[in-house]
Amino acid sequence: MTNQNSLVNLTVKRAAPGFTVGVDGKTTYGTDPAAPWGSMRHAFWPRNNVSGSITTPDGPIDFKGKALYIMALQFGKPHHLAAKWNFVNFQGANYSAIMMEFTTPPSYGSTLVNVGGIVKDGEIISAGSSNSVKHTKVNSDPDNDWPTPEEVKLDWSGKTKDGKTVSATIEGSLGERRDRIDIMAEVPGFVKSIVSAAAGTKPYVYQVSTLHLKRSNLVTSLTILVVLTPRTTNLTKSQDWR
């Protein structure tokens, strides 16, 4: 079936090596590492050349440029695996810097899991899990009471293949929000209310794109995905992170 309102014709070509963190990029859940009850796996192409367009009733939109591509496989209910997410995507003329961070539900200790990297054409400069996202100023969204970030500090920290230390920081005001997407917008209202009351799930995507940030050799566009932490879960707390 083809959606005539958005005809997608895009080609993504890798410009830098991809990476995973850990043995295979997998995060597992459960008290038995040999038999986890759930998992997520993420693999990253941090710098890509994109060509093509998306055609809407108003005409085609040219998507030629740079892009981040993430392969994500999820085995488990979304609100059992993570309570909130931060995504950072910078695509510059010479370098790309990307970051993904999620926080587990309270039953898993509200643990931060972070994956990020800095690359250039044909080369990974640094990639690993020693990065951080901090919302340094937060305000409440009047439409849904969500604590939405207004200012952030983003830190990358790692080693090159030669063992040299690499660090980069972006901080400052996010500026005007580009978009807020209600993930459950297409769900009937009564179903949405039941799910929100029973599971405590109110997923929204907040997207910001700005060039007005203090930086160490980087500027960025940010996509911030926030999912409300479930009020109750039946998970067994575990520190089985891979």
Share of the chain above pLDDT 90, in %: 40
Is 184 inside a domain boundary?
Answer: yes
Rounded Cα distance between 78 and 44, Å, is 20
Note the helical H segments in 49-114. 78-81
Find the mean pLDDT for residues 28-50.
92
DSSP assigned state of 19: B
Residue 42 inside a domain? The answer is: yes
Amino acid at 170: I
Residue 17 lies in a domain: yes
Q: Pick the residue with more confidence: 159 or 191? A: 159
Cα separation, 55 vs 71, in Å, equals: 24
In a domain, 2, yes or no: no
Assign 33 a pLDDT band (cuts: 50, 70, 90): confident
Mean pLDDT along residues 141-159: 87
Domain that holds residue 79: 7-226
> In DSSP terms, which residues pair with 206 in a beta bridge?
180, 224
Distance of CA 104 to the CA centre of its chain: 14
Q: Does residue 38 lie in a domain region?
A: yes
3-class state of residue 106 by DSSP: helix
d(CA 72, CA 42): 5
Q: Kindly state whether residue 235 falls inside one of the protein's structural domains.
A: no
Higher pLDDT, 149 or 219: 149
Instruction: Look at residue 237 and tell me if it is in a domain.
Output: no
pLDDT bin (cut points 50, 70, 90) of residue 183 is confident
| Domain total of the chain | 1
Q: Is residue 233 part of a domain?
A: no
The pTM of the full predicted model, rounded to 2 decimals, is: 0.79
